[in-house]
Chains A and B, each alone.
Chain A
């Protein structure tokens, strides 16, 4: 990855909605070049997708609950943790799966409408997988910061309008 590609990625990592024309001007390259780099990075799956970071607690009655589950597993011979992880991440309820160092093996993040729904998933789907030895479920009570973004409104410009 060259420095131009890295610069572009850093820009869209912060703001995925930046328009190609804006990116081009910020980086001092042409729009066509910008499009080409974006396409290349998308094809190479360096850029996997574009999403919005949403505070679902605002303006909707149907809030969601998120749980982070510590999962201990017995790795499968020959394929290690990967096969077990795959069996878990293929469920659409699963938002994230990470292999961890430390006292447990997989960290699984799950989103559901209610605690009961998440509970059902854990007891019926997750803990019943052959290799899963144990699960510990933690529900998220409040999000303060997610993917580098703070969940608060306090970001207005506090500077005086004109200064020397």
Chain B
């Protein structure tokens, strides 16, 4: 708890939010030498050069001013084409889209645009750490719905039903999922859509990892029948194009909702950074080849890590997307936090305890395989050695 005198000025809402459990591991791991980190939630590639170069060029040309609130029109038109081409969903560049500062800001303004005080938002856990706090900051009440390893962490429609009250307004979906890597298939999504329609809910579908699926063709939630006008689709450039530091995302959805989001965006953000928008335009026009190359490399490393975990006897479902594996460490008898801390102390390998992603993440750890093959192999050797000491 904060005890400094100035803490009396803090709002009740912000005080009700706990700092992310990841923070502690960050501090711990940062203070140590020789750490191999599997705790990084971003690509290990540097942004493709043509994208960086396009941004340089835009700066040289003097594009240093604000853009339209919703983002460069050229970029929105390209996003519109891209979403149609890659995912078969159609959005108008004029009024159904906003370019944001990362997918995170898109999630924030989406929630603020639709949630009234006290309304409930279903957060499917294990989940990305920011969903629940962002709901709280928007005045809503996050309601966790757990998923389990025996279902490969797939959301079961019955569990949504059980969590629905007369205050439920939104379900937040994330497929491929961070931290589990689980991808919901078309039929999984159709079953969820039935519940959504039956209870007249809205879906915020975080599809930031959509390009990174390895087994089946990807289905975007708004592509499911009758779901387009019930969905705010969130995506961005961070994961597919290795552009995390550029902070560029976007949201698409029905006009009335997107215009409301744009209202918040124009008052609180003005617009996303101009040089990043020019970079993103290049990424969409000429970047697909790099996406394919990076994806191929993740797919190979997924295979390497799954194989290694199997060999050391840690059970792990094969995640269909993103760049995470989420093995069970239950048989060690340690909590996920103890496991992660001891592994870091004894073998200098950083993983993220599953518990930071919600209650149902307990018993698991998140390992990112977005790191070099050499480091992955060394990390796997160290984890195996660590398991033998238990």
Contacts and interface: CB of A to CB of B under 8 A. Distances in A.
A28 B41 CA distance: 24
A161 B30 contact: yes
B40 A160 contact: yes
Contacts of B373: 15, 18, 22, 26
A80 B178 CA distance: 61
Interface string B368-387: 00010100010000000000
A138 interface: no
A49 interface: no
B30 A25 contact: no
Contact of B22 (A25, A26, A163): A163
A62 B26 CA distance: 46
B266 interface: no
What class of interface size applies to chain B in its complex with A? 20 to 34
Contacts of A159: 37, 40, 42, 44
Contacts of B286: none
Contacts of A164: 20, 22, 41, 128-130, 178
B210 interface: no
Given A160-B26, A161-B350, A26 B129 contact: no
A7 B37 CA distance: 27
A15 B20 CA distance: 39
B300 A26 contact: yes
Interface in A116-164: 157, 159-164
A28 B307 CA distance: 8
B244 to A, nearest CB: 8
Contacts of B29: 161-162
Contacts of A11: 300
Interface of A: 7, 11, 15, 18, 22, 25-28, 157, 159-164
Interface of B: 20, 22, 25-26, 29-30, 35, 37, 39-42, 44, 128-130, 178, 296, 300-301, 303-304, 307-308, 350, 352, 371, 373, 377
Given A25-B304, A159-B42, A162-B352, 4 more contacts: A15-B373, A160-B30, A161-B39, A163-B22
> What are the nearest 4 A-B pairs in CB distance?
A162-B39, A26-B300, A162-B26, A28-B303
